[in-house]
Amino acid sequence: MNDLFKPDGDYEERVRASFDRQEVMDTLGAELTSVTPGIVEIELDYKTSLTQQHGYLHAGVISTALDSACGYAAYSLMPADAAVLTIEFKVNLLSPGKGERFLFRGSVTKPGRTIIVADGQAYALDGDTNPKLVATMTATIMVVAGREGIRG
Amino acid sequence: MNDLFKPDGDYEERVRASFDRQEVMDTLGAELTSVTPGIVEIELDYKTSLTQQHGYLHAGVISTALDSACGYAAYSLMPADAAVLTIEFKVNLLSPGKGERFLFRGSVTKPGRTIIVADGQAYALDGDTNPKLVATMTATIMVVAGREGIRG
Amino acid sequence: MNDLFKPDGDYEERVRASFDRQEVMDTLGAELTSVTPGIVEIELDYKTSLTQQHGYLHAGVISTALDSACGYAAYSLMPADAAVLTIEFKVNLLSPGKGERFLFRGSVTKPGRTIIVADGQAYALDGDTNPKLVATMTATIMVVAGREGIRG
Amino acid sequence: MNDLFKPDGDYEERVRASFDRQEVMDTLGAELTSVTPGIVEIELDYKTSLTQQHGYLHAGVISTALDSACGYAAYSLMPADAAVLTIEFKVNLLSPGKGERFLFRGSVTKPGRTIIVADGQAYALDGDTNPKLVATMTATIMVVAGREGIRG
């Protein structure tokens, strides 16, 4: 671990405050369940209001939660006055989004001063069975510094 | 245009029926505004319930609508008894999701019997100004045939 | 077209000089056949030394030429003292790399001061038949300014 | 590990035979250094004939070797009579391709009967220092069965 993996001040408070401002997380019923330097987890319960045509969690909902998990994993390593901006991401849908609850983990693969790359995994949780990997994401995230009025 | 661009029977009815079963589209307030062979458009109004931390449309919401637009563009060219499955997609976020309303267009770039590739564009619409390109998607979609109980 | 599409000084000379320093282009037999602001074309002849196991052009060779085409399309719009850096790209392989000659076109979709997004198409050329689209790329490119000793 | 991770017969011989038919591997000086079920490694030495404009290994060369590593990782798990086809991949370039030698590892993340997803890492090796991660790939690969004359 090098310096770029060392968080600046109260990173958890900053991540939580920014997450709380993402109103779509509330719309999806998503909760921020873990924040450590460079790794963030989000969870949500299955709801029919989030489904695609076969009754599974829509790939876009999976992407929304993975994007926030990857973005906040990156943000947790940014300077306190920076803002986080996703430039692009790719998602592979490995299995149908079938489960009672879903866990989305984002982790920083490559920290950086301007560009951060994070990878994410989405797991379906179903009773006592093992978590099932349903999707992966690779996201490229930008550290936005010094833009008036843009923070978090 | 070759045979793979010729739709099978009442493609529009099939696309509309499947879209209506995607409950997340209702949650987002998304409407299916245009269905032609290989090209599908979806629109939605800006709502604070869909925002990220700076008050813009969340990249995941943009991806959700683009995924459905690309998926249905592909589905419009599939045999009547097939089901549509997104294997993977990549999204580039070009500008903040700032606007009154958003238009998502998916078009088939490469039709196929098993794999279809579609590209999508998301535009922000704001009063009388020109539509602004805010995101692009490339999606790889699979034609799922002959699976009991899976249609649409 | 806005200011970000206006090239700075002799962009063509800069692109050609940088391309000439890419020794791998020589190894592939690739030629820079067109340079206009935001659009660059590269061509190469089929050679068995560039093939995959079925005798077609290897997807990686297609990606190499597309990456250079997209990178130089972006570079053509950068300030004269900047350097070009590909952050990431995605390639979709639409048809086998079968042909006598191949054309790779990169065009800037979204110019920018720090991040530029370019899209590319690879075409197989075969005698008198129409060019066939064999692959597409989306590339995210960074404008690197003010780094000692890094130019082009 | 489930059945889809069990190789069919002499997978290593099949992978090596197919790799040997990829003439571009010879052009790059790439060697197949490890083949186990679902994981394949390729290595190559730095050569100026493979460089981009700053003298580093060209991103396209990195992609070529990663694509073969991921493709053969997938192929090692396919039925003996199948052929391997890359549908698409995404590469993130994390650090310049600077080193004496490079190692490319492809591993299957999700096996499947029709679609296999593999992830790859490229490392720069430089004397006694630790391997440095320079790029990652996610590749979507298709199992092509029953096509006359296409194998490997």
**Kind plus residue range of the DSSP H or E element containing A112:** none
Contact C90 D89 (CB under 8 A): yes
Kindly state the DSSP code that residue C49 receives in the 8-state scheme: G
- Kindly report the length of chain B: 152
Kindly give the pairing relationship between strand A39-45 and strand A31-36.
antiparallel
CA distance C118 to chain A (A): 13
Angle A82-A85-A89 from CA coordinates, rounded to 5°: 145
Across A14-40, average pLDDT: 98
**Res D101 pLDDT > 60:** yes
pLDDT tens per residue, range B48-86: 999 999 999 999 999 999 999 999 999 999 999 999 999
* pLDDT score, position A5: 83
How far is Cα A41 from Cα A35, in angstroms, rounded to an integer? 7
How far is Cα D88 from Cα D70, in angstroms, rounded to an integer? 11
How far is Cα A94 from Cα D117, in angstroms, rounded to an integer? 8
Q: Which of C64-68, D2-6, D44-48 has the lowest mean pLDDT?
A: D2-6
Residues of chain A with Cβ-Cβ distance to B90 below 8 Å are 88-91
The DSSP annotation for C1-33 comes to --GGGS--SSHHHHHHHHHHH-HHHHHHT-EEE
Domains of chain D, by residue range, sit at 3-144
Phi, psi of A60, rounded to the nearest 5 degrees: -70, -35
Residues of chain C with Cβ-Cβ distance to A114 below 8 Å are 114, 142
Please state whether the predicted TM-score (pTM) of the whole model is above 0.80. yes
Chains that touch D (3 or more CB pairs under 8 A): A, B, C
Provide the H-helix boundaries in A4-152. Answer: 11-21, 23-28, 59-75
Residue with tokens 């149908």, as numbered in its chain: A96
User: What is chain C's mean pLDDT, rounded?
Assistant: 95
**Res B1 pLDDT > 60:** no
Residues of chain B with Cβ-Cβ distance to A106 below 8 Å are none
Q: Which of C9-18, D5-14, D131-140 has the lowest mean pLDDT?
A: D5-14
Q: Is the CB of residue B19 less than 8 Å from the CB of residue A46?
A: no
Residues 6+ apart with CB under 8 A from D49: C23, C24, C26, C27
Kindly give the pairing relationship between strand C101-110 and strand C39-45.
antiparallel
* pLDDT score, position A80: 94
CA distance C26 to chain B (A): 31
Structure tokens, B135? 């995101």
**Res D42 pLDDT > 90:** yes
Provide the β-strand partners of residue C54.
none
* pLDDT score, position B149: 67
Assigned CATH class of A3-144: alpha beta
CA distance D109 to chain B (A): 14
Across A33-48, average pLDDT: 98
* pLDDT score, position B129: 81
User: What is chain B's mean pLDDT, rounded?
Assistant: 95
Q: Which of B70, B85, B86, B87 to mutate to test the interface with D (most CBs of D within 10 A)?
A: B87
How far is Cα A22 from Cα A17, in angstroms, rounded to an integer? 9
Kindly state the DSSP code that residue B82 receives in the 8-state scheme: -
Provide the β-strand partners of residue C89.
C139, D91
Across B13-36, average pLDDT: 98
**Kind plus residue range of the DSSP H or E element containing B59:** helix B59-75
**Kind plus residue range of the DSSP H or E element containing D122:** strand D115-125
Across C86-90, average pLDDT: 98
Other CB atoms within a 10 A radius of the CB of residue A114 amount to 14
Residue of D90, D65, D62 whose CA lies nearest to C139 = D90
Provide the β-strand partners of residue A107.
A39, A119
Kindly state the DSSP code that residue A50 receives in the 8-state scheme: G
Q: What percent of chain B has pLDDT over 90?
A: 86
Confidence of residue C9 (pLDDT cuts 50, 70, 90): confident
Residue of B1, D9, B45, D54 whose CA lies nearest to C150 = D54
**Res B40 pLDDT > 80:** yes
Across C97-101, average pLDDT: 96
D29 to C48, C57, D64, D68, D97: CA distances (angstroms)? 15, 17, 12, 13, 16
How far is Cα C123 from Cα C66, in angstroms, rounded to an integer? 11
CB-side exposure of C100: number of CA atoms within 13 Å? 7
Contact D117 A94 (CB under 8 A): yes
**Res A136 pLDDT > 80:** yes
**Res A1 pLDDT > 60:** no
The question of ipTM being above 0.85 is answered as: yes
* pLDDT score, position C148: 67
pLDDT tens per residue, range D104-118: 999 999 999 999 999
Residue of A27, A72, C79 whose CA lies nearest to B50 = A27
* pLDDT score, position D149: 67
Q: What percent of chain B has pLDDT over 70?
A: 97
